[in-house]
């Protein structure tokens, strides 16, 4: 039967993170793998009331087919929140998707022919790599430092490579490195995208989870030509299980996303969209996010303190000012994939950094998630990892 698969299907392979997640879902393991938000911060009580209210007041529409674009009050609310953050938008600019992962998949479908090139940060988000790869593209990694992509490397690639379609970036608290782009790099990225006529995909799942400092304007806020596709999600600020994200793009682009959504799955869950809209209407969502921020900041600090105490000095790490992840670089001789097996034996999991380089063979990095474990477990897990790294 395999002979009947499309060429594309050959490029669709198992995601290491999901496989690892399976491995580490056993009871008792301290998992710094995955990118799971803390379930104890999900709004259970509010949702209990809201789900009944949605059925009572909007029942027929909550359970029926509904427009592909999404539930209008939710689209409007998202646009309003974006506008407050310097990204002017109306509800008409928003398409509700099943998480921002679906926005990534649609982006691949809309822009990538076989052999087309995606420019991405090195390293970059594994889910995006897999989504784009399923459309038979090629990745060129752009050198990245503490301020974002290195612009000279980006321009070099834009100048010399044919068939570049997309520049994919996560400017805030990047997955996996936790790094945040400087204002200047964001502006320069936009200038180069205009100059070379490329699409910028700005993926911003973590932007609202800032633990210190001032928010930096989004790349989209500098977009004067409608070439930024902005992806947002409620997975980290509300909950991931309801699968609600969005695409914000200029009309000519968004229209294509809406058509793709229509043939992909018709629409996002009618009931969950209404529940979220009602939650946003009835609650102080910013206060809700600030509560999450307070918890995660503490966990990040706990992890940083534990690393300072337990990791050997030849191990480097980057302290993120937001998001869910902390990036660790170990000496070049150590392969973190090999180390993972020992770590799991001792009850600790993380994601080896190699997964995040679409082409590369960087073997001495690891991504640590700090949002999903309580503080005691964070300390214990880092202590165990530290011992392994000493050896």
Choose, by CB under 8 A, the member of 24, 124, 177, 268 that binds a copy of itself. 268
Which CB atom, from 190 or from 216, has the smaller least distance to a copy of itself? 190
Which CB atom, from 126 or from 389, has the smaller least distance to a copy of itself? 126
Instruction: Give the shortest CB-75-to-a copy of itself separation in angstroms.
Output: 15
Site for a copy of itself in 192-221 (CB under 8 A): 197-199
Is residue 243 part of the contact set for a copy of itself (CB under 8 A)?
Answer: yes
- How many helices (H) and strands (E) in the chain? 13, 15
Which CB atom, from 68 or from 144, has the smaller least distance to a copy of itself? 68
Instruction: Give the shortest CB-166-to-a copy of itself separation in angstroms.
Output: 8
Q: CB–CB of 157/165 below 8 Å? A: no
Choose, by CB under 8 A, the member of 84, 183, 215, 266 that binds a copy of itself. 266
Is residue 22 part of the contact set for a copy of itself (CB under 8 A)?
Answer: yes
Neighbouring C-beta atoms of residue 184, cutoff 10 Å: 11
Is residue 291 part of the contact set for a copy of itself (CB under 8 A)?
Answer: no
Is residue 247 part of the contact set for a copy of itself (CB under 8 A)?
Answer: no
Site for a copy of itself in 70-99 (CB under 8 A): 97-99
Number of residues that bind a copy of itself (CB under 8 A): 86
Is residue 118 part of the contact set for a copy of itself (CB under 8 A)?
Answer: no
Cα–Cα dist 176/289, whole Å: 21
Which CB atom, from 8 or from 191, has the smaller least distance to a copy of itself? 8
Q: Which DSSP string corresponds to 306-317?
A: HHHHHS-TT-EE
Instruction: Give the shortest CB-176-to-a copy of itself separation in angstroms.
Output: 17
Listed ranges 44-52, 83-91, 325-333, 373-381: which one lies at the site for a copy of itself (CB under 8 A) = 44-52
Contacts of 93 (CB under 8 A, 6+ apart): 79, 248, 249, 250, 251, 254
Which CB atom, from 62 or from 94, has the smaller least distance to a copy of itself? 62
Is residue 161 part of the contact set for a copy of itself (CB under 8 A)?
Answer: no
Is residue 47 part of the contact set for a copy of itself (CB under 8 A)?
Answer: yes
In angstroms, the Cα distances linking 217 to 5, 171, 234, 257, 288 are 44, 10, 19, 25, 22
Q: What angle (nearest 5°) sits at the alpha carbon of residue 145, between those of residues 113 and 35?
A: 70
Instruction: Give the shortest CB-58-to-a copy of itself separation in angstroms.
Output: 10
Q: Which DSSP string corresponds to 314-380?
A: T-EEE--SBSSEEEEE--TT--HHHHHHHHHHTTEE-EEGGGG-SS----SEEEEE-SSS-HHHHHH
Choose, by CB under 8 A, the member of 240, 323, 352, 381 that binds a copy of itself. 240
Q: Which DSSP string corresponds to 20-54?
A: HHHHTTSTT-EE--S-PPPGGGS-HHHHHHHHHHH
Q: Give me the torsion for CA of 151, 152, 156, 159, rounded to 10°.
A: 60
Site for a copy of itself in 351-380 (CB under 8 A): none
Cα–Cα dist 363/352, whole Å: 8
Is residue 224 part of the contact set for a copy of itself (CB under 8 A)?
Answer: no
Contacts of 229 (CB under 8 A, 6+ apart): 103, 107, 199, 200, 201, 202, 247, 248, 249, 253, 257
Which CB atom, from 124 or from 272, has the smaller least distance to a copy of itself? 272
Which CB atom, from 47 or from 315, has the smaller least distance to a copy of itself? 47
Choose, by CB under 8 A, the member of 227, 300, 363, 367 that binds a copy of itself. 227
Which CB atom, from 99 or from 216, has the smaller least distance to a copy of itself? 99
Choose, by CB under 8 A, the member of 16, 23, 51, 81 that binds a copy of itself. 51
Is residue 1 part of the contact set for a copy of itself (CB under 8 A)?
Answer: yes
């Amino acid at each position: 039967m395999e002979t009947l698969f499309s060429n594309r299907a050959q490029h669709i392979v198992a995601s290491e993170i999901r496989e690892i997640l399976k491995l580490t879902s056993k009871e008792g393991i301290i998992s710094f793998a995955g990118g799971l938000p803390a379930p104890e911060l999900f709004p259970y009580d509010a949702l209990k009331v809201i789900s009944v209210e949605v059925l009572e007041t909007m029942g027929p529409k909550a359970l029926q087919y509904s427009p592909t674009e999404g539930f209008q009050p939710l689209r409007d609310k998202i646009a309003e929140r974006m506008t407050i953050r310097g990204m002017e938008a109306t509800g008409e600019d928003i398409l509700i998707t099943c998480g921002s992962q679906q926005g990534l998949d649609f982006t691949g479908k809309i822009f990538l022919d076989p052999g087309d090139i995606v420019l991405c940060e090195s390293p970059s988000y594994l889910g995006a790599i897999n989504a784009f790869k399923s459309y038979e593209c090629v990745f060129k990694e752009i050198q990245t430092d503490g301020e974002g992509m290195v612009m000279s490397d980006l321009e070099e690639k834009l100048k010399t490579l044919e068939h570049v379609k997309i520049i994919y970036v996560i400017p805030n608290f990047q997955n996996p490195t936790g790094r945040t782009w400087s204002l200047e790099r964001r502006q320069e990225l936009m200038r180069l995208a205009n100059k070379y006529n490329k699409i910028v995909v700005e993926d911003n799942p973590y932007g609202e989870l800032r633990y210190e400092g001032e928010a930096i304007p989004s790349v989209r806020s500098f977009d004067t030509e409608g070439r930024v596709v902005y992806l947002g999600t409620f997975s980290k600020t509300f909950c991931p299980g309801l699968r609600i994200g969005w695409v914000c793009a200029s009309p000519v682009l968004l229209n294509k996303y809406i058509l793709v959504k229509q043939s992909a799955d018709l629409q996002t869950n009618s009931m969950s969209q209404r529940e979220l809209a009602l939650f946003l209407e009835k609650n102080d969502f910013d206060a809700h996010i600030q509560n999450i921020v307070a918890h995660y900041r503490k966990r990040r600090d706990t992890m940083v303190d534990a690393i300072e105490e337990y990791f050997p000095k030849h191990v480097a790490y980057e302290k993120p000012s937001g998001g869910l992840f902390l990036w660790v670089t170990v000496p070049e001789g150590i392969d973190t994939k090999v180390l993972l097996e020992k770590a799991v034996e001792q009850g600790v999991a993380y994601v080896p950094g190699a997964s995040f380089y679409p082409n590369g063979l960087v073997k001495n990095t690891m991504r640590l998630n700090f949002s999903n474990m309580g503080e005691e477990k964070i300390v214990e897990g880092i202590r165990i990892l530290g011992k392994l790294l000493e050896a």
